[in-house]
Amino acid sequence: MQSKGLIKFLVVVVSLACLYSLSFTFVTRKVESDAAEYAQGDMLKEKAYLDSVAGQVVYNLGVAKYTYREAKAREIALGLDLKGGMNVTMEISLDELIRNLANNPKDQAFNKSLENAVAKSRTTNTSLIDLFVDEYKASGSGTPIASFFATKDNAASVNANSSEGQVRTWLKREADNAIENSYKVLRTRIDKFGVASPNIQIQQGTNRILVELPGIKDEDRVRKLLQGSAKLEFFETHSNPDVYPLLENIDKTLAAALRTEKSTTATASTTSKDSTSTDSTASDANLLANLGAKKTDTDTSAVQAQLAQQNPLFAVLNPSVYTAQNGQPQLTPGATVGYANLKDTARVNQYLARPEVRSMIPSNLKFMWSVKPEHNSPDFLSLFAIKTSNTESGAVLTGDVITEARDDFDQNNRPVVSMGMNAEGARQWRRITAQAAQTKSSIAIILDGVVYSAPTVNEEIPGGNSSISGNFTIDDTKDLANVLKAGRLPTTAKIVEEAIVGPSLGQAAIDAGVNSAVIGFVVVMIFMVAYYNRAGIAANIAVVFNVFFLLGILASLNAVLTLPGIAGIVLTMGTAVDANVLIYERIREELGLGKSMRQAIADGYKHAMPSILDSQITTLLVGVILFFTGSGPIQGFATTLMIGIVTSLFTAIFISRLIFEYLLDKNKKISVSFPWSANTLQNANFAFVGKRKVYFTISIVVSILCLISIFTKGFSLGVDFQGGRTYTVRYDNNVNLEDVRSNLDAVFGLTTEVKTFGSENQIKVTTTYHIEETSDEADGEVLAKLNEGLSKVGDNKYEILSQQKVGPSIASDIRDRAIYAAIFSILIIAAYILIRFRRWQYSAAAAISTTHDGIVLLGIFSALDGLVPFSLDIDQHFVAALLTVLAYSVNDTVVVFDRLREYLSKPFGKNENLGSTINKAINSTLSRTIITSLTLIFVLAVLFIFGGEVIRGFSFAILIGIIVATYSSIFIAAPTMYDLTPDDSAVQEITPKTKEAKTVTS
């Protein structure tokens, strides 16, 4: 084996890198375990504990130190189905955007065209902008479309003479800006909300934004937070030197009030001791010097405790000061009045909200926090003193006057933000800046109640065109420009899909996933040792490394682990042995030819390589398609699948080989079988081609029956394919499904789908009531009716564990993308085989075989729906399972084709009847096909039994699909290729001209 040293080096490096990536998860779990032990079930105490250590170093590697917050950002995050929480898809109303950009015209042709475009957008993937422009063009209206958008606000981009193409391009750009700005606003709101490890993504090519909020419990608050309009405002500010005396008085008042509160609960001796200590407070003259700048980790707990007693506000809020030339601290000019550690901002807010403090704060003063920490102080937020005016909101100007905002550079090439206003805004801006320039005060730019910037005004600004400068980075100016543009965001975002998973269901999912993974792991290891003897131990070591590398890479990519992701890991353990099985079966063949163990191992690896690569690449292609067409958990499954293929190849080809090389160097005995398994299927001689018509007849009959069921009975579509609302409900005692269904049908006034979900006391309810409405009011009404119907089921308490909502438009889109993904997968796989084997017969046979597998699997799901005690919904999870089955089917087929290609290139293959050569190829790979399939069936059976109800249908689909795919790869694929080849004279034509692979020897 060449480059043995390099491979060892790679294994060590990758192992250390994976261990490093996984170590953050271990560290954060330890901190969270300590928090849970401290809180004893009190969630508020647990959150307070974690907040308190957020900025503390919890992981010290010597060369690098990580706070809890930094370590948390690097751990393997758990998805909603494992942790509980809320998954929301926001849709930006592009029809509202178009109307607002045109100032809501009353023109009949305009509005009718937009209505038609909206209706068509629900059944097509064409963008709403294109549909609208095409509809208006088809309306035959004599009014140019550009005239509607040639307003004062849009004058810089479009005018009455703009062409249709220019308007189309401009509308698309505005739509992209609206989506990007909405994303920025949502990102800031969620960060402000304080969700741990949120996931926010723009779904590329759509007007939707995916928001995942693990661990969230206040769903109503989240809905209001996400759907509220962006509120951009400009405020005048107070200066820090003017506000500091007020903060001193607040500090003294708090000290006295807290001392009084403490004295009412403390003992007499403690009270006497406390009053003695508080008499020794620092004088006001020395307060700034005692407080200094921001506190560091070197502050002792004793000093902090004393400071908290004497100056409770300044113990958590550091005044904004700087060191003057005389060495004394001075108050910093500007609107920033203090800084607080992120963990202390809640305490500051609590102090400022106390009644005795509120009464001291003037009516024209508000305290507001900065949106994010300062660059030089990543754990500290700034507190600003905002001056309110006589307007309703207190702002001197609102964001709707902004016409343009962009990130730019000044004459010194420093990042700045350029901002333009409409005529009314420019007039007010001139007056505001003139007043602020006289005192060199600041104007605060505030979005949703947090300060993004508070630049000092140097001079009066006429015309409404301003340049905002400061200690900005390029990213800062981009963010600020987006904020300013969000102020005139002419559209809203609404929730079109929603899934809520309760933590109890999440914990059950975790337990099920872990159990299935562990049991599956054990099953694979036992089987490999039982069948392949000592070689099985080498394969097991490779599988252990495979799982370790897989988890390490997932951690390094900050991937979110979902239940389908765990299913992907379990499936990877099954497929990981496939490469080893291919190698071991080939080694056994070489040994049967009388070769030494060393030579058999070298030739076994060499001859198995083409089959290994071809089979794994086809599965990888399906994983790529799943990743780009799926969303949420499906992407998690695809990510795990793709990474697992790469790690499986690495461990099977290199690590198991290193083990063999070590054993050979030490003259250790190597066995690839037990006596009972040594000759299993080794001398198989089945006439697959001769009896192909029997197998074809069976397949045609089964396929026809499946198609009849598909077109007559149909499918039970999941909520993500048909739209509606689904709820998972658990009763204390078993319930009768018909009782629940009849009660809900009466309440909703239409047929409700009720299914057992796992045990007989747990059900899944799906309703299309108010399917067209996605408002909070509609959600509340559906939930109220659901509770009304559920409560009628005798004296049986219940709990709603999870809920999911999908609008009809997004359901249509998901369904279309799933269909395209399945078709595209078959075409991509066929194209790969065509390129790899260079003859259409191989490609066509593989396409027919995989199509057969898809039809049979769909037919089984249709026929068995309602007859088995678990859900067989056709949803995104099923599509992932279907594509995985198609990939496996081709995987198996390619192994046979590879052997056939090898035989056809040899003298006996060129001179032999094509049917005989095909029989020989199938028979020689039969052992590998059966062993790999059995291994996967074992693993999937474990996943099906122990994996939990959430993915039972998913695992059932793959389990049945593997059985069907194994059948088709043996009885259909290669025999079909035989029938597609006109006669034996074509053998030479279908023999690819490939070079011999280079031998890898030791």
Residues 110-144 pLDDT 10s: 999 999 988 887 767 678 898 999 999 898 888 88
Within the chain, which residues score under 50 in pLDDT? 267-285, 292-300, 984-1002
Q: How many Å from the N-terminal Cα to the C-terminal Cα in the chain?
A: 3
996 in a structural domain: no
236 in a structural domain: no
Task: Tell whether 144 and 222 lie within a shared domain.
Answer: yes
704 in a structural domain: yes
Task: Tell whether 848 and 966 lie within a shared domain.
Answer: yes
Q: Which of 581, 887, 540, 862 is nearest to 716 (CA)?
A: 862
Angstrom CA distances, 984 to 348, 841, 980, 991, stand at: 87, 14, 11, 12
860, with CB counted inside 10 A (0-12, 13-18, 19+), is: buried
Asked if residue 145 lies in contact with residue 133, where contact means CB atoms within 8 angstroms, the answer is yes
Task: Tell whether 822 and 867 lie within a shared domain.
Answer: yes
Q: Which of 946, 15, 35 is nearest to 520 (CA)?
A: 946
308 in a structural domain: no
Residue that is last in its domain, among 779, 806, 833: 806
Residue that is last in its domain, among 229, 244, 261: 229
What is the pLDDT at residue 291? 53
Q: Which residues pair with 456 in a beta bridge?
A: 442
Q: What angle do CA 734, 738, 739 make, to 5 degrees?
A: 70
Task: Tell whether 99 and 69 lie within a shared domain.
Answer: no
| CA distance linking residue 445 with residue 888, whole number of Å | 56
Task: Tell whether 113 and 53 lie within a shared domain.
Answer: no
For 746, the token pair is: 């009466």
| CA distance linking residue 48 with residue 50, whole number of Å | 6
Asked if residue 415 lies in contact with residue 409, where contact means CB atoms within 8 angstroms, the answer is yes
pLDDT tens string 62-100 = 778 888 878 887 888 777 777 777 878 888 888 888 888
Task: Tell whether 738 and 870 lie within a shared domain.
Answer: no
928 in a structural domain: yes
> Taking the CA atoms of the chain, what radius of gyration do you get in angstroms?
34
350, with CB counted inside 10 A (0-12, 13-18, 19+), is: exposed
Task: Tell whether 747 and 825 lie within a shared domain.
Answer: no
165, with CB counted inside 10 A (0-12, 13-18, 19+), is: exposed
Q: What angle do CA 204, 205, 207 make, to 5 degrees?
A: 90
| CA distance linking residue 608 with residue 586, whole number of Å | 7
Angstrom CA distances, 933 to 289, 533, 574, 581, 970, stand at: 75, 19, 9, 11, 12
DSSP state of 654: I
What is the pLDDT at residue 338? 92
81 in a structural domain: no
What is the pLDDT at residue 450? 83
Task: Tell whether 103 and 185 lie within a shared domain.
Answer: yes
Count: domains in the chain? 4
- Could you tell me the CATH number of the domain that includes residue 772? 3.30.70.3400
- Residue numbers of the domain that contains 170: 89-229
Q: Characterize the bridge pairing of strands 77-78 and 560-561.
A: parallel
Residue that is last in its domain, among 28, 44, 75: 75
Half-sphere exposure of 792 (CA within 13 A, CB side): 16
Alpha helices for 353-422 (secondary structure H): 355-358
The one-letter amino acid at 755:
K
Angstrom CA distances, 898 to 565, 826, 995, stand at: 31, 19, 14
858 in a structural domain: yes
What is the pLDDT at residue 985? 43
What is the pLDDT at residue 210? 80
DSSP state of 374: B
Angstrom CA distances, 185 to 226, 227, 632, stand at: 9, 11, 21
Listed in order, strand segments (DSSP E) in 207-268 are 208-214, 232-237
Task: Tell whether 845 and 780 lie within a shared domain.
Answer: no
What is the pLDDT at residue 988? 43
| CA distance linking residue 389 with residue 235, whole number of Å | 8
| CA distance linking residue 959 with residue 881, whole number of Å | 9
Q: Which of 790, 747, 753 is nearest to 768 (CA)?
A: 753
Q: Which of 870, 897, 900 is nearest to 759 (CA)?
A: 870
Task: Tell whether 802 and 820 lie within a shared domain.
Answer: no
Q: What angle do CA 469, 471, 472 make, to 5 degrees?
A: 75
DSSP string, 483-500: HHHHTT--S-EEEEEEEE
For 803, the token pair is: 């809920």
DSSP state of 209: E
| CA distance linking residue 94 with residue 178, whole number of Å | 9
For 143, the token pair is: 């009014």
| CA distance linking residue 262 with residue 352, whole number of Å | 19
* Whether this model's pTM surpasses 0.75: no
| CA distance linking residue 981 with residue 988, whole number of Å | 11
**Side by side, which strands form the sheet with 466-468?**
402-409, 415-421, 466-468
Task: Tell whether 784 and 909 lie within a shared domain.
Answer: no
What is the pLDDT at residue 283? 41
Task: Tell whether 49 and 136 lie within a shared domain.
Answer: no
| CA distance linking residue 216 with residue 14, whole number of Å | 35
Q: Which residues contact 574 (CB under 8 A, 6 or more apart)?
A: 520, 524, 935, 936, 938, 939, 940
535 in a structural domain: yes
| CA distance linking residue 150 with residue 941, whole number of Å | 64
Asked if residue 337 lies in contact with residue 384, where contact means CB atoms within 8 angstroms, the answer is yes
| CA distance linking residue 798 with residue 785, whole number of Å | 15
Asked if residue 804 lies in contact with residue 767, where contact means CB atoms within 8 angstroms, the answer is no
